[in-house]
């Protein structure tokens, strides 16, 4: 997977929480709201189109066609692709995100600020668990 930075992938987890029912949002570095996740795990893009879903009870991740494309182990932060190969991990205690080679590719701090691999702020996540945000380091648009 290309190291495209946390924000490019985190963007896809959330959208437009100003609408009723949304529980979290993602903002770009410039402050524009670009994504959202509903309380039931449905994931929307900036056009308010559902692009996927995360099952918040078991961590399974689905694309817009309802095909399972991966899973996050909600107990330890390991992230798996559809072939059940580990492709990364989020440290649930401090928000650091690692690729399959255990190289740190970013971080989400406790305030929700999202940092890329160069430690520059690339956006902000509000109202969502770090594990949910980290899913999109690896699964991007879910398409």
pLDDT at 36 over 70: yes
pLDDT value of residue 23: 62
Q: How far apart are CA 105 and CA 56, in angstroms?
A: 24
* Structural tokens at position 117: 């691999």
pLDDT value of residue 105: 85
124: left (phi over 0), alpha (psi -120 to 50) or beta: beta
Give 64's pLDDT tier (boundaries 50, 70, 90): confident
Chain segment 121-142, per-residue pLDDT in tens: 877 777 777 776 666 555 554 4
Q: How far apart are CA 41 and CA 4, in angstroms?
A: 24
Give 16's pLDDT tier (boundaries 50, 70, 90): very low
Mean pLDDT of 12-36: 57
pLDDT at 2 over 60: no
18 vs 82, more confident:
82
Q: Is the whole-model pTM more than 0.85? A: no
pLDDT value of residue 133: 67
pLDDT value of residue 11: 36
Chain segment 68-120, per-residue pLDDT in tens: 988 888 888 898 888 999 988 888 888 888 888 999 888 888 888 888 888 88
Q: How far apart are CA 32 and CA 25, in angstroms?
A: 10
């Amino acid at each position: 997977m290309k190291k495209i930075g946390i924000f490019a992938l985190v963007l896809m987890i959330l959208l437009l929480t100003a609408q009723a029912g949304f529980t979290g949002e993602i903002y770009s570095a410039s402050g524009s709201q670009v994504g959202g996740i509903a309380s039931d795990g449905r994931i929307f893009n900036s056009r308010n189109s559902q692009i996927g879903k995360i099952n918040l009870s078991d961590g399974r991740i689905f694309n817009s066609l309802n095909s399972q494309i991966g899973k996050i182990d909600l107990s330890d932060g390991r992230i798996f692709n559809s072939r059940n190969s580990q492709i990364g991990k989020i440290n649930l205690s401090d928000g650091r995100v690692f690729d399959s080679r255990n190289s740190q590719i970013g971080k989400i701090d406790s305030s929700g600020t999202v940092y890329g691999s160069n430690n520059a702020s690339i956006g902000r996540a509000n109202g969502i668990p770090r594990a949910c945000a980290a899913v999109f380091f690896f699964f991007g648009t879910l398409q």
